[in-house]
Structure 1
Amino acid sequence: MSVITEENVRGENLFQDINAENDDWEPTEIESMCMNCHRNGTTRLLLTKIPFFKEVIVSSFNCDECNWSNTEIQSAGRIQDQGVCYTLRVRTKDDLNREVVKADSATTRIPELDFEIPPFTQKGVLSTIEGLLDRAAAGLEQEQPARREADPEVAEKIEGFIRKLRRLKEVEEEFTLVIEDPSGNSFVENPAAPQRDEALVVSHFKRTLQQDSRLGLRADDDDDDVDEEPAPSDLDTMRGEVLAFATNCPECCAPASTNMKLVQIPHFKEVIIMATNCDRCGHRTNEVKSGGATEALGTKITLRITDVSDMSRDVLKSETCNVAIPELEFELGMGAVCGKFTTLEGLLADVKDLIVSKNPFICGDSGVSDRVAKLRAFGEKIDRIVAGEMQVHVVLDDPAGNSYMQNVYAPDPDPELTTERYARSFEQNEDLGLNDMKTEGYQENQENQETAGGSKED
């Protein structure tokens, strides 16, 4: 058993490289209490250096009374000046053998599965990529017996996800592993070190105030040195609160207030929800605007309605989106209904309201009997679709690419939902005002025009 002495510390022999030929090097053993049976067990500490990284402390506890064991790794150095993010593209089974140091403050993500392990939910570990996958699967399996009793459907979905997680070890397809650690003390091995690793991208970033607080570097109520941090942008402010501004009611023109909030839609993007409520006449309106730019490609979303439960799917319909129901030979152009974030049932109700209830050509004396009957029959078909009595397709065609329909099977593919990306036509770009929009060399052209104008005046 090795002993930590002052001579070791002065001689800088406390941390030694991992070397199989060093027979004299043994872990430090400390008697400590078992947290399972509360009797005494043994903790072994190994102080070592990871090549091309830094010093770490590997601890292992074992209790001879109840056979409970636990392992943990801690950084022996200080918290680094910057956080670190490792992005590894796993291409072969050899990549699964890479050594990994995952600190407890690190976030682990697999984007292809939309899977994330939040920080401080697991202890630090010295393992391999394969070991991280096994540990994640074991963590999900831990509560499966209780889930099967309480909610068998959820348990079955998690079981399917666990199988996907384990299939990653076969590396049938490439996948990405991201380890982001604000403390800067996590590490992913580069087998080609000191040469560059083509499959591994390492980036560093500056910690936020919240990350400093979680690492214990700043008190929650500590406002010192706030000026040294970058000031939050207007967009960050909008994400955290509801903004209100004065406006007029579109019905009675009385002073009213419009509320606005930036909302992140899961598996999609940010949108701006605006709502106006008039206290005088009771008029209410709500509208959704895309929080991002026009996409490079248009989006066509097709849903085959097979069950009444499809009516509860979330739908984002932008103001540039066309709505079609091919079985009813119905199509609603862009701008007919304002942008909305609602459910599929709510969208169909708006369509019925627009075509049947608010149609001026079927109201009063202006209504022709044949037209009235035809439109009312259309409204009845919408009611049957909402009730699940008709199986039809609902198509959202948005040239701007800013519309969305919920995938209830996420992160798995939805068998009834298809999403197509397509290049916009000249007419669609014209409708969106993109053909006459110039964003490159604008300043240079403006200066040339001013120079030409000055020459003509001379």
Structure 2
Amino acid sequence: MSVISEETVRGGGSLFKEISADNEDWEPTEIESMCMNCHQNGTTRLLLTRIPFFKEIIVSSFSCPHCCWSNTEIQSAGRIQDQGVCYTLRVKSKQDLNREVVKADSATTRIPELDFEIPPFTQKGALSTIEGLLDRAVAGLEQDQPVRRATDPEVAEKIDEFIQKLRKLKEVEEEFTLVIEDPSGNSFVENPVAPQKDEALTVSRFKRTVQQDIQLGIRAEDDLEEEPAGSDLETMRNEVLVFDTNCPECNAPASTNMKLVQIPHFKEVIIMATNCDSCGHRTNEVKSGGATEELGTRITLNLTDPSDMTRDVLKSETCSILIPELDFELGMAALGGKFTTLEGLLKDIKELIVSKNPFICGDSSNTDRVQKLRDFGGKIDKIIAGEMPVHVVLDDPAGNSYLQNVYAPDPDPEMTVEKYTRTFEQNEELGLNDMKTENYSEEK
């Protein structure tokens, strides 16, 4: 029996290999295991690799030489994200059926118009298209139809009618909605007009419930209590807290340092930094430590000079970034919370859209899309060099973002700060509509 050693896991990239025809040592690991059909010994082959939008995966294939039974599966080997993700897509044309989709096994798929739902952990994870998801759902319903027709013809007839409705969706005679909700945060729906905003696709992040944490295996089944609401803030201000985690790059064990810091003009924030000793990967993130403001904040800066690139920026995890001249919008939580300069923020946007975009390389790429994204990266470089005047807008419905005023305490002639009342949808996304604090003690 082959065993993957801890030293191999800590090798920082040697465990998961890129898909490549030139990789000569790209061989699967073979494990002798029992056949679940005839209970004789067969062979399981494991291949650990990376594919676009699905991060690390484990491809397993079992074959039995005695009864010729075989089975193949794909399992996600990536880390569970800090928040869950929900994609809501309005399918308006047949072209939308070609959108690439990564559906993790923990994701729930819904089509509200048909009152149809595929619960989590009932299907294996897959890299497919919208049309492929519909075909897979049809195949699953048709699987036991011969038995149903013999034992319960009435139920079989109703399922046949429903299958026809699913197949009719592929004609897109009418618009329908596809919802993919994944508490692990590892599912994805393609935006074909990237880096521009996709009007048909809505992406939202959410905090997992205790039950979802238990389903994902990151909380014990007997631990049904919510996290404590309060903590010793004075201790947090004076100490650097350390907790164990996994490297987002190589998945090796690592440590994250956390500190509560008072930043001028921005109340308190939580700074988190992770360093991986195995592969050298480093990440840092800033989260707001204060309350949600009564009003949202929209900060607009007119870039007129290269010196503007040195302005300090504190972008909270709820802040969206807009560049109207490029028709570009980056939604909240895409880059997380960051404390950096305006130049650093623009470089992070370029890296996210261009360098780290799997659609720009490999089998997922096409010439038009690659050129479009590279042109966008060139425009970002011109903005950083001061060759292209634009407006940068930080829109934070929670009011917890900040852009440095270099003329302080006088007003900045190139920057406007607007306070606005949040919409119902923004309050819903921030979880404020269900939060009741008025007369709480009296009702209790």
**TM-score, length basis structure 2:** 0.46
Rg: which structure is higher?
1
Higher RCO by CA contacts (8 Å cutoff, separation 6 or greater): 2
